[in-house]
Amino acid sequence: MTAQPSGATVDVRLGLRGDRGPILGALMLSTALVALDVTILATASTTVARELGAFEQVPWLFSAYTLAQAVTVPLYGRLADVFGRKRVMMLGIGLFLLGSVLCAVAWSMPALIWFRVLQGLGAGAIMPMSMTIAGDIYSLAERAKIQGYLASVWAASSVLGPTLGGVFSQFVSWRWIFWVNVPIATVAAVVLWRRFHEKERAGEREPVDYLGAALLTGGSTALVLGLLEGGHAWAWGSVESVGMFVASAVLLAAFGVTSRRTAHPIFDLALLRRRVVGASTAAGLWVGVITLGLTTYVPIYAQGVLGTGPLVAGFALASLLVGWPLAATLSGRVYLSVGFRWTALLGSAIVLAGALLTLSLGAGSEVWHISAAVFVIGMGMGLVAVPTLLAAQHSVGWNERGAVTATNMFARSIGQAVGVAALGAVVNAVTTIGADGTPEGPGLAHAMHLVFWCVVASAALLAVTVLLLPRDHPRDTPAAP
């Protein structure tokens, strides 16, 4: 696989290489913004509900953010390929900053939920742009290490988020959860504005398919919303649930029709027919399923079955988040030697081995047993997630890299929604839900065993998907010609 000729390129030869350190720092700060706001509100939600009321609306604080982020990723990916990464990134940081300020001064639960949507709209641009810019300014040999740094920020933020949320809500005010974003976002925006420069594209820009964007966003919204809220806000067989999936099918079908008739669709389905892009996107789907499935149910297993406290349960999950960036950082040496496909196959085999280890867990297991199993899974993920994304990025030129990156991340988001919905249905079928909204009762250990079987099945499907990647032996090429 070789990179196609670039259309517009990042100005690497005219001094940007000296600015890459500050740019990477800004990308890491931007990533921290998004990662923190996924988890930081979790430990403060009860305090927020006590002050603003409407406790039954608390799940929407998380669903609204996740939904807005997921469905806008493909749109931002296309806009970045047309207008440039910098403009889209600055838009994302600006929306996130505005949403954070409004969340900090929210006067009611509905207002806070809507302002979380605004944050999510910004996050939808920040994450894919961070990865795309890194792909633009670093060479192939450097990208695995850089993606490892970004993954490390995500891992650290995922662990620190709940702790910071608890500290702010207990000792200061839950509103500082959002005020703390202001200096971080400001520093990231200033550094990127001053240090990151792109050449203007020669010739006329392609038109943006706004109709396709509206249909894709609407269809994706209905799909993700149906998966997130099915079995929670409404029953799977209810009118609301069926209506969401029917609306999604109609809108996405309409998008498919219009995209074939449009010269420059917002999300070019033809990209998925390229073997490397299609396979890496499918791998992203299973990565999402496994990651959020473990993130959701490992703490429940540790607390509900093993009887640990929240802090110990958090440390058990942290093993997954430590193994991932560690392996991601080392993956560059591997794929430059044996190629993306063999690296991802090795990673998927390790993921499957770690998943099989979870089947030995039971009510009498020790916490370090689950920690060891998810650490192995995390190591495998680092050898799958990064090489498959980089394989797709390396197979296209500048003018398609944003769309390819966004497609991979969108697939992960859909996988997360599908994974949570499917595993939630499994758990709810064999347990009762306690007053705190978590599963309880004697069936919990059995439910967790079923969850681990689902993780094994997903790991096996991930391995099969990775087999579809074409054989390759990447050459180290400059990040931008």
- Based on the fold, state whether residues 189 and 227 are members of the same structural domain: no
Q: Scanning the structure block, which residue is given the tokens 């406790």?
A: 55
Is 188 part of any domain? yes
The kind and range of the H/E element at 440 are strand 439-440
Reply yes or no on whether the pLDDT at 476 is more than 70.
Answer: no
- Based on the fold, state whether residues 229 and 371 are members of the same structural domain: no
Cα atoms in the Cβ-side hemisphere of radius 13 Å centred on 274: 18
Q: Which residues contact 233 (CB under 8 A, 6 or more apart)?
A: 59, 240
- Based on the fold, state whether residues 290 and 369 are members of the same structural domain: yes
Q: Which domain holds residue 370?
A: 268-476
Reply yes or no on whether the pLDDT at 12 is more than 50.
Answer: no
Q: Which residues contact 430 (CB under 8 A, 6 or more apart)?
A: 443, 446, 447, 450
Alpha-carbon distances, residue 149 vs 4, 264, 399 (angstroms): 26, 34, 25
Is 369 part of any domain? yes
- Based on the fold, state whether residues 278 and 255 are members of the same structural domain: no
Q: What is the pLDDT of residue 1?
A: 42
Reply yes or no on whether the pLDDT at 434 is more than 80.
Answer: no
Reply yes or no on whether the pLDDT at 74 is more than 70.
Answer: yes
In this structure, of 192-196, 308-312, 389-393, 413-417, the range with the lowest mean pLDDT score is 308-312
Reply yes or no on whether the pLDDT at 42 is more than 60.
Answer: yes
* Residue at which a domain ends, from 197, 218, 249: 197
- Based on the fold, state whether residues 349 and 443 are members of the same structural domain: yes
* Pair 448, 305: CB distance under 8 Å: yes
User: For residues 409 and 432, what is the distance between their CA atoms, to the nearest angstrom?
Assistant: 34
Q: What is the pLDDT of residue 200?
A: 65
* Residue at which a domain ends, from 197, 221, 255: 197
3-state SS class at 4: coil
- Based on the fold, state whether residues 167 and 22 are members of the same structural domain: yes
Q: Which residues contact 385 (CB under 8 A, 6 or more apart)?
A: 151, 283, 284, 287, 324, 328, 347
User: For residues 147 and 157, what is the distance between their CA atoms, to the nearest angstrom?
Assistant: 15
Reply yes or no on whether the pLDDT at 78 is more than 90.
Answer: no
Nearest to 406 by CA among 278, 243, 281: 281
- Based on the fold, state whether residues 89 and 134 are members of the same structural domain: yes
Q: What is the pLDDT of residue 156?
A: 72
Check residues 234 and 186 and name the one with the higher pLDDT.
186
Q: CA 234, 237, 239 angle in degrees (round to 5)?
A: 70
Tokens matching residue 472: 């390759």
* Pair 338, 472: CB distance under 8 Å: no
Q: Scanning the structure block, which residue is given the tokens 């300020």?
A: 101
Burial of residue 8 (number of CB atoms within 10 Å: 0-12, 13-18, 19+) = buried
Cα atoms in the Cβ-side hemisphere of radius 13 Å centred on 288: 23
* Pair 325, 151: CB distance under 8 Å: yes
* Residue at which a domain ends, from 174, 197, 220: 197
- Based on the fold, state whether residues 96 and 124 are members of the same structural domain: yes
Q: What is the pLDDT of residue 478?
A: 38
Burial of residue 442 (number of CB atoms within 10 Å: 0-12, 13-18, 19+) = exposed
Per the DSSP assignment, residues forming a β-bridge with 198 are 10
- The CA dihedral of 379, 384, 389, 394, to the nearest 10 degrees, is 110
* Pair 359, 453: CB distance under 8 Å: yes
Is 16 part of any domain? yes
3-state SS class at 72: helix
Is 175 part of any domain? yes
Is 330 part of any domain? yes
Burial of residue 448 (number of CB atoms within 10 Å: 0-12, 13-18, 19+) = buried
* Segment 323-369, tens digit of pLDDT: 887 887 788 788 888 888 999 999 999 999 999 999 998 888 888 89
- Based on the fold, state whether residues 403 and 338 are members of the same structural domain: yes
The kind and range of the H/E element at 439 are strand 439-440
Percent of all residues in the chain with a pLDDT value above 70, rounded to a whole number: 85
Q: What is the mean pLDDT of the chain?
A: 80
In which band, very low, low, confident or very high, does the pLDDT at 480 lie, cut at 50, 70 and 90? very low
- Based on the fold, state whether residues 314 and 283 are members of the same structural domain: yes
User: For residues 453 and 352, what is the distance between their CA atoms, to the nearest angstrom?
Assistant: 11
User: For residues 271 and 348, what is the distance between their CA atoms, to the nearest angstrom?
Assistant: 24
Is 375 part of any domain? yes
* Pair 318, 159: CB distance under 8 Å: yes
Reply yes or no on whether the pLDDT at 38 is more than 80.
Answer: no
Indicate which CATH number applies to the domain containing 143: 1.20.1250.20
Is 2 part of any domain? no
**Total Cβ atoms within 10 A of residue 273:** 9
Q: What is the pLDDT of residue 466?
A: 93
Reply yes or no on whether the pLDDT at 372 is more than 80.
Answer: yes
Reply yes or no on whether the pLDDT at 255 is more than 60.
Answer: yes
User: For residues 479 and 83, what is the distance between their CA atoms, to the nearest angstrom?
Assistant: 19
- Based on the fold, state whether residues 406 and 443 are members of the same structural domain: yes
* Pair 178, 118: CB distance under 8 Å: no
Check residues 331 and 257 and name the one with the higher pLDDT.
257
In this structure, of 54-68, 86-100, 299-313, 431-445, the range with the lowest mean pLDDT score is 431-445
Domains of the chain: total: 3
* Segment 160-219, tens digit of pLDDT: 776 677 777 777 788 888 998 999 999 999 998 988 887 766 556 667 778 888 888 888
* Segment 104-162, tens digit of pLDDT: 999 888 899 899 989 989 988 898 888 888 877 887 777 767 877 777 787 677 667 76
Tokens matching residue 365: 């297991």
User: For residues 234 and 222, what is the distance between their CA atoms, to the nearest angstrom?
Assistant: 14
Percent of all residues in the chain with a pLDDT value above 90, rounded to a whole number: 19
Is 3 part of any domain? no
User: For residues 451 and 469, what is the distance between their CA atoms, to the nearest angstrom?
Assistant: 28
Q: Which residues contact 442 (CB under 8 A, 6 or more apart)?
A: none
- Based on the fold, state whether residues 190 and 330 are members of the same structural domain: no
Q: What is the pLDDT of residue 119?
A: 93
Q: What is the pLDDT of residue 92?
A: 93
